[in-house]
Chains A and B, each alone.
Chain A
Amino acid sequence: MSGDIAAVLVLLGALFSCLGSLGLLRLRTFYERVHPPTMGTTLGTALVLAGSILHFSVLGSRPVFHEILIGGMMLVTTPVTYMLLVRAALRRDGDDAPG
Chain B
Amino acid sequence: MTSPFFTFAIAAAQVLLGAGMLFALLRLLRGPGAQDRVLALDTMYVNAMLLVLAFGVRDGTGLYFAAALVIGMLGFVSTAALAKFLLRGEVIE
Contacts and interface: CB of A to CB of B under 8 A. Distances in A.
Interface string A1-20: 00110111011011101101
Chain A facing B: main interface SS: helix
Interface of B: 1-3, 5-6, 9-10, 12-14, 16-17, 19-21, 23-24, 26-27, 33-36, 38-40, 42-43, 46-47, 49-50, 53-54, 56-57, 60, 62, 65, 68-69, 72-73, 76, 79-80, 83-84, 86-87
B76 A88 contact: no
Most buried by B among A37, A69, A81: A81
Contacts, number: 163
Interface in A44-90: 44-45, 48-49, 51-52, 55-56, 59, 66-67, 69-70, 73-74, 77, 80-81, 84-85, 87-89
Contact of A48 (B21, B50, B60): B50
Nearest to B85: A88
A-B interface, 8 closest residue pairs, ranked by CB to CB distance from nearest: A21-B20, A7-B9, A14-B13, A88-B86, A84-B83, A77-B76, A21-B23, A88-B87
Contacts of B80: 77, 80-81, 84
